[in-house]
Amino acid sequence: MPVTIVTGGQWGDEGKGRIVDMLAAEADIVVRCQGGPNAGHTIVNDLGKFVLHTVPSGIFSERSRSVIGPGVVISPAGLAAELQELAAAGIDISRLLISERAHLIMPYHKLFEHLDEEGHSGTLRLGSTKQGVGPAYADKAARTGIQAGDLRDLSSFARRLKEVLPIKNRIIEGVYGNSPLNADDIISAIEPAAAFLKPFIGDTSIPLHDALGSGKRVLLEGQLGMMRDLDWGAYPYVTSSCPSPSGMVAGAGIPPQHVDRVIGIVKAYTSAVGEGPFPTELLNEDGDWLRKQGAEYGATTGRPRRCGWFDAPAVSWGSRIGGFTEIVITKLDVLTGRETIPVCTGYTRAGQPVSRSEAAYGWQDLQPIYETKPGWSEDLGNCRSMADLPIAAQDYVAFLEEQIPAPISMVSVGPQRDAIIMRA
Each residue of 229-264: pLDDT tens digit? 999 998 889 999 999 999 999 999 999 999 999 999
The span from the CA of 127 to the CA of 174, in Å, is 25
All structural domains of the chain, each given as residue ranges with its CATH number in brackets, are: 3-98+205-263 (3.40.440.10), 103-198 (1.10.300.10), 267-422 (3.90.170.10)
Q: Give Cα 420 distance to the centre of its chain.
A: 20
Residue 253 contacts residue 39 (beta carbons within 8 Å): no
| Over residues 121-146, mean pLDDT | 79
Q: Which residues, in sequence order, are CB contacts of 126 under 8 Å at separation 6+? A: 117, 120, 236, 237, 274, 275, 276
SS3 content of the chain, % helix, strand, coil (to 5): 40, 25, 40
| pLDDT score for 299 | 64
- Is 41 marked active-site? yes
- Residue 47 C-beta-side C-alpha neighbours within 13 Å: 17
Averaged pLDDT for residues 138-154: 96
236: preceding bond cis by omega (within 30 degrees): yes
Average pLDDT, the chain: 91
Catalytic residue status for 185: no
pLDDT band at 121 (very low <50, low <70, confident <90, very high): very low
pLDDT in tens, 53-110: 999 988 988 889 999 999 999 999 999 999 999 999 999 999 999 999 999 999 999 9
| pTM tops 0.75, yes or no | yes
Which of 317, 310, 319, 313 is closest to 245 using CA atoms? 319
Q: Which of 41, 53, 103, 109 is catalytic?
A: 41
Judged by average pLDDT, the poorest of 85-89, 91-95, 151-155, 298-302 is 298-302
Closest CA to 370 of 276, 270, 302, 295: 270
Burial 285-319 (b: 16+ CB within 10 A, else e): eebeebbebbebebbebeeebbbbbbbbbbbbbbb
Helix (H) or strand (E) holding 354: strand 352-354
For the chain, report the end-to-end CA distance as a whole number of angstroms: 22
What's the pLDDT band for 128 if we cut at 50, 70, 90? low
Residue of 13, 21, 139, 229 with catalytic role: 13
Measured over all CA atoms, what is the biggest interatomic distance in the chain, rounded to whole angstroms?
65
Round to whole Å and give the CA distance between 284 and 278.
14
